[in-house]
Amino acid sequence: MPRVADHREHPVLELDGLSRAYGGRMVVDHVDLVLRRGDILGFLGPNGAGKTTTIRMALNLVRPTQGTVRILGHDVWREGERVLPRVGALIEAPALYPHLTGWENLRAFAAAVGGTPAATLRQLVDAVGLSERQHERVRSYSLGMKQRLGVAIALLNDPDLLVLDEPANGLDPHGIAEMRDLMSRLAGEGRTIFLSSHVLSEVEAVCTRIAIIDRGRLVHEGSVDELLEGAGEYWVRVAEPERVLELLQAQPWGHAARILTDDRVVTPSPTGQGRDLCAFLAAAGHPPDALDRHRHQLEEIFLGVTSGGVQ
């Protein structure tokens, strides 16, 4: 049954000053994050940034040195038995029984959580796109098929919060598109999804919010539209991009101007308005062939705020 959001209800997940130290070194350093019903959060970070430790603390697998994790308003360390059944998780590769079929695996995991009606299991198999292969042994599955079966298992307890670590790992383009559609449907039902991934294009396509962690600290967080729209920059296509770049960078408002790989020039406007940028360039003898607001790529933002490659 779809979950209806209510602004008065508790956030689905709250990280409050969440910290973890190992041997005196802060691996996660006072991370604050709030997820509400229907959010799809893309959680990003370079290798060693503290992303996995944060996820494990959120799932009560690692105890914080400081701070708290609350799910639906309840502290997971003190009330884990009460709230963790409301969470579904796929962390790293799913632990499946290779000698059993996909359907048999799903039934076995369903029994472990108290049983699930066969009709619900069939819906889950359909939802993750395994209907045609459900009766084949898992040892014959590709990595992507195992990932999809893992997502089905994570949904067995009809969770409010779904935590997925690299769910697109091993998927072909068709499988990635199916996974994207599945995430959107689940969020549309009112579930909250905490998604860790290194496939930035998919995070950008499916997530409603993005949080980036680097060296244990949260360095960027907000809605996808807020992060990607930029700060009033425009791209322009002109006949002589190098000369236009030199002209723009000589202006007090144009120091951030730059050329993209497709030879478009990205620049602020002298007034923040596109028409005034167009007028300036035309008056300088470089009328634009095209002009529009510049929308950042997630990779551009990620590399700008972190110290390494995506994990």
Domain range annotation of the chain: 13-227, 231-294
Give CA–CA dist 143/245, Å, rounded. 47
Mean pLDDT of the chain: 88
CA atoms within a 13 Å half-sphere pointing along the CA-CB vector of 109: 23
CA pseudo-torsion sign 100, 128, 91, 198: positive
Residue-level pLDDT at 8: 58
Q: Are 62 and 53 in contact (CB under 8 A)?
A: yes
DSSP 62-122: S--SEEEEEETTEEHHHHHHHHGGGEEEE-SS----TTSBHHHHHHHHHHHTT---HHHHH
Residue 42, beta-bridge partner list? 195, 210
Give CA–CA dist 40/204, Å, rounded. 11
Residue-level pLDDT at 132: 92
Which CATH topology does 13-227 take?
Rossmann fold (3.40.50)
The CATH code belonging to domain 231-294 is 3.30.70
Render pLDDT for 79-90 as a digit per residue (tens, 0 to 9).
999 999 999 998
Please tell me if the domain spanning 13-227 has the same topology as the one spanning 231-294: no
Residue 258 DSSP code: E
Predicted TM-score (pTM) of the model is 0.77
Tokens of 121: 């299991």
Helix (H) or strand (E) run with residue 11 in it: none
If you average pLDDT over residues 140-165, what whole number do you get? 90
Q: Which residue has the higher pLDDT, 304 or 247?
A: 247
Supply the angle between the helices 143-154 and 173-188 in degrees, to the nearest 10. Answer: 10
Q: Are 15 and 64 in contact (CB under 8 A)?
A: no
Residue-level pLDDT at 5: 52
Residue-level pLDDT at 302: 78
Least confident piece of the model among 51-60, 178-187, 296-305: 296-305
Could you tell me whether strands 217-223 and 209-214 are parallel, antiparallel, or unpaired per DSSP bridges? antiparallel
Q: In this model, does residue 11 exceed pLDDT 60?
A: yes
Residue-level pLDDT at 1: 47
